[in-house]
Amino acid sequence: MQLSLAQLELKVLFEISRIIGQALDLDRALEAVLAILNESMAMQRATVTLLDEETGVLNIRASHGLSETERRRGIYRTDEGVTGRIFQTAEPFYVPDISKEPLFLNKTLSRPRDRSGIAFVGVPILVQGQPVGVLTVDRLFGDEVGPDEDVRFLTIVAQLIGQFISLNRQVQAREDALRRRARLLELEMKERYNNFFIVGQSEAMHELQKLISRVAPSKASVLLLGESGTGKTLVARVIHNLSERANTPFVKINCAALPENLLESELFGHEKGAFTGAGTLKRGRVEEAHGGTIFLDEVGELPLTLQAKLLRFLQDKEFERLGGTVTRQVDVRIIAATNADLAGLVERGRFREDLYYRLNVFPIKIPPLRERRQDIPLLLEHFVDKFSREYARRVALEAEAQAALVAYDWPGNVREMENLIERLAIMCEGGSISLRHLPHPTCPLRGNGESAAGPANHNLEELVRRELLAALERSHWVQSRAARELGITLRQLNYRLDKFGLAEMVRTNRQKISALGRT
């Protein structure tokens, strides 16, 4: 049974609407639209010409009935020919006979030499009321149907194409934004990673870097050991980013931050109705980490009941959600961290021995700051520069203040130093951090009620003298190296050597080292 014109149009529009799912692949979607028009209405030489925002010209993006060579010829300025006129005016254009229309350029050379009698229709493609391209065809219907019907129907089709383009652009913009965000995060991570090691020139930090480089490409579980503030979370991220899982989730959970009943749900998830308040299904962090890495911070605080479930998960990568019966499997890498003595906890029965051995496949000890004093001046300089930039003011440490900070044990490690320098950068007046700005006990010489002219000043000078000697010894009595380590100029160092009567000692030790080198 032959369809009426209205039925035919409705059928075509329905088929076009069904391919909206292909809009993410715009070229494929446009080719499909033109194919439907050809199959249903036997049209010829249809094109979708879109504006190239980079070049500012109109290019044929999709076609039906044109060869690849003919299609490549279809390039128009926005003020050129029938296509340019339709784009500029955002109005349809009907050509009853292309052989008599001077605006018709036939750039594609796809029509026969004798073009007389061929009618042509073009309509604008609009997105949010602005022209983005042109839909053109040789006339769809015969003489029994007026050109107005061609224009009306093609305008509807162009509206659908405009929706495809709009959807494609929205998705593309979202993907571009996500890529930019991922790139920024990658750059931030690289900067933090580089800073972590650039400002750590001690032997302990070089050894740490070697261990990270060795274990990162493997699948082994890693146990990070170290005091609070040493950078365990950052090391875990570095290991993840240097592994094959770099583009997969990095999920972290603090085992000491939640009570036992909530921690199990946080780790493994729960089914709806598993407990009072569980109104909806919740996926656990291990599911979120599928394909990536899960970082268990403060794992020594894990309750014994959960330790058994974690052990099973480590062995088989299987688990059940709280209140569920379905066994689920995930592929994750485990990195755990603790500032506790896990071996001691095992002896006291507070940590499962089998779990300890499962986690302790590749232990990495992150040294506390007091065990890598060589890095302290570099870290101080790094954080002073960092907060000078952040607060747009030049901040500097006076020599006495720096000496006191170098001598300090830093029980809170790098985190404590970063927080202290930020606070000092905010609080100090004139941008110069002096001894009086340092809080007790960072500078134990303060807060004891002694005047600057009293014993405290004498102790401070002795402290500076000891630090000078220590730096010189570490630098093999090379003054320029010692000055760099202390964060002062060579001139300032020589002034202090003269002040404390150390110049002769330096010369003597340099001569001894030179003599040993000659022998």
Mean pLDDT of 327-353: 92
Lowest mean pLDDT among 159-163, 273-277, 458-462, 473-477: 458-462
Cis peptide before 96 (omega within 30 of 0): no
What value does the mean pLDDT take over residues 389-412?
A: 86
pLDDT confidence tier of residue 350, bands split at 50, 70 and 90: very high
Please give the structure tokens belonging to residue 317. Answer: 């990568």
The CA distances from residue 106 to 71, 124, 177, 401, 515, in Å, are 11, 18, 40, 81, 91
**Binning pLDDT at 50, 70 and 90, where does residue 240 land?**
very high
pLDDT tens per residue, range 193-205: 555 555 667 888 8
Residue 244 has pLDDT above 60, yes or no: yes
- The verdict on 358 and 387 lying in the same domain is no
Same domain assignment for residues 86 and 154: yes
Task: Report the CATH number that the domain containing residue 122 is assigned in CATH.
Answer: 3.30.450.40
Domain count, the chain: 4
pLDDT, averaged across the chain: 82
| pLDDT value at residue 458 | 43
User: How crowded is residue 202: how many other Cβ atoms within 10 Å of its Cβ?
Assistant: 18
φ and ψ at 313, to 5 degrees?
-65, -40
Same domain, yes or no: 76 and 208: no
pLDDT-derived band at 455, boundaries 50, 70, 90: very low
Tracing tokens 């991570």 back to the chain, one arrives at 189
Q: Identify whether residues 381 and 286 lie together within a single domain.
A: no
Q: Do 359 and 422 lie in a common domain? A: no
CATH of the domain at 401: 1.10.8.60
- Asked, for residue 83, whether it belongs to a domain, the answer is yes
Cβ-proximal residues to 447 (8 Å cutoff; 6+ apart), any chain? 440, 441
CA distance 123 to 149: 12
Edge-to-edge strands, sheet with 362-365: 250-254, 293-297, 333-338, 222-225, 362-365
Residues 427, 493, single domain; the answer is no
**Do 306 and 356 lie in a common domain?**
yes
pLDDT digits (tens, 9 = 90+) for 149-177: 888 888 988 898 888 888 888 888 888 88
Same domain, residue pair 362 and 440: no
- What's the pLDDT at 464? 67
pLDDT at 294 over 60: yes
Q: What is the pLDDT of residue 456?
A: 39
The answer to whether the predicted template modeling score (pTM) of the entire model surpasses 0.85 is: no
Which residue has better confidence, 61 or 6? Answer: 61
pLDDT of residue 505: 87
- The model's confidence at residue 448, banded by pLDDT at 50, 70 and 90, is very low
Residue 222 lies in domain: 199-367
Greater pLDDT, 299 or 464:
299
**177 part of a folded domain:** no
Mean pLDDT of 450-475: 60
DSSP 486-503: HTS-HHHHHHHHHHTT-H
Q: Which of 367, 393, 425 is the last residue of a domain?
A: 367
